[in-house]
C-alpha cells in the first residue's frame, strides 16, 4: 500500500440510478489508499439512504450532508476543506473510472514530480455503453492560456497535489466551477501534464448538453468576465478559440 493518501471528491444530487456503479469504480481501484468524500447536496430521490448503506460497508467512504441543494461547486469545496490526502481527485456521481486510473496517474505524478495532471477519457451512454470516440488530451503540458482556448481538463480526470501547492477551491457558479479551479491553479504558474490513456468514462445523459448554443456562449463570456482578470477584447478572443475547439471536440471527432 502507498504511504500517502488520495482524496476523491464526489458531489451527489439525485443520482441514485448511477451511484453504485460510480462508487464501485472507485472501490475497484488497484490503488487502495484513498478516501472518498461524498457530499449529498440535498438529494430527495433516495440517494441519501443508498449512500449511508454503501458507506457503512467501507470506512474509506465518508459522507457530508447538505440539507438543501447548494450546487456542485460549493459541495466539492466543502469536501476539499475536509480532504486529508496528498492528492485530490474528482469523480462525479454518474461517471466511471478505469480500475487502474489512480495507479497509473499517481505513479506518473510521483515519478515525474508533476503537481497537476489530467488524462484522456471515453464517453458512455446513460445505460453505460461506450459511445463516440475517446477524447484524447494534447501532447504538451497545458498552461493557463492553453486552457482558455480549449477546455481539455475534465473534472473526472483531474488530479492535483494539495500537499505541495495547497488547497484550491471552485467558484460558486452552477456551471463551469471546475474550470475556474483549473484556471486558478494554472494562473499560478503550474502546468497540467496530459496522460494520453483512456482512464475515465464520462456519462452523457439526455439533457446533459443544451441545444441552446447561444446561451452557452453568452454564459461563457460572462463566466470569464466574472472570474478572470481579462479585458473584454481578450474575453471575446478566448471565447472564439473555445468555440472553435468545442466544435471539433463534440461534432468533428
Tens of pLDDT along the chain (253 residues) come to 467 999 999 999 999 999 999 999 999 999 999 999 999 999 999 999 999 999 999 999 999 999 999 999 999 999 999 999 999 999 999 999 999 999 999 999 999 999 999 999 999 998 889 988 899 999 999 999 999 999 899 999 999 999 999 999 999 888 899 999 999 999 999 999 999 999 999 998 765 544 467 888 899 999 999 999 999 999 999 999 988 877 665 554 4
Considering only CA atoms, which of 242, 247, 244, 246 is closest in space to residue 145?
A: 242
Considering only CA atoms, which of 87, 146, 74, 78 is closest in space to residue 114?
A: 87
Q: Give tens-digit pLDDT for 4-46.
A: 999 999 999 999 999 999 999 999 999 999 999 999 999 999 9
Distance CA 130, CA 24 (A): 18
**Cβ(52)–Cβ(26) below 8 Å:** no
DSSP notation for 179-238: HHHHHHHHHTT--BEEEEEEEEEEE--TTSS-S-HHHHHHHHHHHHHHHS---HHHHHHH
Q: Residues with Cβ < 8 Å from 140, sequence gap 6 or more?
A: 194
Distance between first and last Cα of the chain: 39
Report pLDDT for 249: 58
Q: Return the domain boundaries, the chain.
A: 6-208, 210-253
Distance CA 221, CA 164 (A): 32
Q: Residues with Cβ < 8 Å from 163, sequence gap 6 or more?
A: 4, 86, 87
Residue 201: half-sphere exposure toward Cβ, Cα within 13 Å: 22
Distance CA 192, CA 216 (A): 25
CATH fold of the domain at 6-208: Spore Coat Polysaccharide Biosynthesis Protein SpsA; Chain A (3.90.550)
The distance of Cα 225 from the centroid of its chain, to the nearest Å, equals: 22
Amino acid at each position: 500500500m502507498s504511504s500517502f493518501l488520495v482524496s476523491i471528491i464526489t458531489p451527489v444530487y439525485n443520482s441514485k440510478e448511477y451511484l453504485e456503479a460510480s462508487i464501485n469504480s472507485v472501490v475497484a481501484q488497484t490503488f487502495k489508499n484513498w478516501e472518498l468524500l461524498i457530499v449529498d447536496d440535498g438529494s430527495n430521490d433516495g440517494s441519501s439512504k443508498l449512500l449511508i448503506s454503501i458507506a457503512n460497508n467501507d470506512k474509506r467512504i465518508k459522507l457530508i450532508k447538505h440539507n438543501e441543494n447548494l450546487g456542485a461547486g460549493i459541495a466539492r469545496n466543502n469536501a476539499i476543506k475536509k480532504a486529508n490526502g496528498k492528492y485530490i481527485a474528482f469523480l462525479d456521481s454518474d461517471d466511471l473510472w478505469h480500475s487502474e486510473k489512480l495507479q497509473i496517474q499517481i505513479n506518473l505524478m510521483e515519478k515525474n514530480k508533476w503537481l497537476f495532471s489530467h488524462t484522456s477519457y471515453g464517453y458512455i451512454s446513460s445505460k453505460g455503453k461506450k459511445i463516440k470516440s475517446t477524447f484524447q488530451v494534447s501532447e504538451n503540458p497545458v498552461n493557463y492560456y492553453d486552457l482558455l482556448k480549449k477546455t481539455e481538463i475534465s473534472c473526472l480526470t483531474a488530479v492535483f497535489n494539495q500537499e505541495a501547492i495547497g488547497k484550491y477551491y471552485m467558484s460558486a457558479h452552477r456551471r463551469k466551477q471546475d474550470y475556474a479551479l483549473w484556471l486558478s491553479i494554472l494562473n499560478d504558474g503550474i502546468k497540467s501534464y496530459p496522460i494520453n490513456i483512456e482512464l475515465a468514462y464520462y456519462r452523457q445523459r439526455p439533457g446533459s448538453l443544451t441545444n441552446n448554443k447561444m446561451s452557452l456562449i453568452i454564459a461563457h463570456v460572462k463566466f470569464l468576465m466574472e472570474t478572470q482578470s481579462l479585458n473584454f477584447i481578450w474575453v471575446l478572443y478566448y471565447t472564439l478559440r473555445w468555440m472553435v475547439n468545442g466544435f471539433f471536440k463534440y461534432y468533428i471527432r
